[in-house]
Amino acid sequence: MAKHSHRDKILESGLRVVHERGFTGASVRDIVRAAGVPQGSFSNHFASKEAFGVEILNLYFEQTLEIIRKTLHNKELAPLARIRAYVEDVDASLLKKDELNGCLMGNLSLESGEQSPMIQRRLAELFTEVQKEIADCVRDAVKAKELPPSTNAKDLATFIHASLEGALLQSRAEQSRVAMDRYKRILYSTILI
């Protein structure tokens, strides 16, 4: 088995620390301590904490892409069932047990905002990619006559994704599943029927 480099350890541990504590709440000292590496290792591998933030977003997005491949790309399911499977997998991966940490992308979009243009740009790209994947399923649903021909795929995909992010943020803020459960109930009973 290959030995993890300090960079890999910092990214993996840093992702966990930032997801739990937030970007501003996780100091470089906290991150390297969790990684079990010397403090100087951070600056050896990352030009800034902002550059590190972009790297953990990329690492996090790899996990999101795995969910997308498993669900939205699963042609064995009907299109709306693929979107439902995506929502269920996101829910299962982000709101498990007593960990209501929400989605790292949503959390960072609130936290870094205008203070970090580099992170903000990367978040916009990642959100666009997720929405494109959902929109592809919506278009497939229109073709399969699961949705009316007048459906605007991009608008509906953006609504589904933005509402999901909002439910995850609210669940994190309230440390309760209520917002996520409400989102799924309404989505499944009015849109993905």
Judge whether 179 and 167 are in contact, CB under 8 Å.
yes
Q: Are residues 98 and 6 in the same domain?
A: no
Query: Do 157 and 113 lie in a common domain?
Result: yes
Amino acid found at 122: R
Contact status, residue 34 vs residue 16, Cβ threshold 8 Å = yes
Residue 137 DSSP code: H
40, 54: one domain: no
Residue carrying the six token digits 């966990």: 16
- Answer whether 0.85 is exceeded by the pTM: yes
Residues 97 and 57 in one domain: yes
Q: Rounded mean pLDDT of the chain?
A: 92
Q: How confident is the model at residue 94 (pLDDT cuts 50, 70, 90)?
A: confident
Rounded to whole angstroms, the Cα distance separating 110 from 102 reads: 12
Question: Domain residues for 33?
Answer: 1-46
Q: What's the structural domain count of the chain?
A: 2
Q: pLDDT tier at 38 (50, 70, 90 boundaries)?
A: very high
Tokens of 47: 């030009």
Q: Report yes or no: 100 and 175 within 8 Å, Cβ to Cβ.
A: yes
Residues 173 and 91 in one domain: yes
- Max mean pLDDT among 57-61, 92-96, 100-104 falls in 57-61
Mean pLDDT of 41-54: 94
Comparing 99-103, 142-146, 149-153, 165-169, which segment has the lowest mean pLDDT?
99-103
Q: What is the CATH number of the domain that holds 149?
A: 1.10.357.10
Same domain membership, residue 155 and residue 62: yes
Task: Mark whether 22 and 53 lie in a shared domain.
Answer: no
Q: Does one domain contain both 57 and 147?
A: yes
Give me the CATH number covering residue 10. Answer: 1.10.10.60
Mean pLDDT of 104-127: 89
* Distance between CA atoms of residues 38 and 18, nearest Å: 18
Residue 2 pLDDT level (bands cut at 50, 70, 90) = very low
> 97 pLDDT band (50/70/90 cuts)?
low
31, 99: one domain? no
Pair (170, 78) in one structural domain = yes
Q: How many CA atoms lie within 13 A of 124 on its CB side?
A: 8
Whether 187 contacts 160, CB under 8 Å: yes
pLDDT of 144 strictly over 60: yes
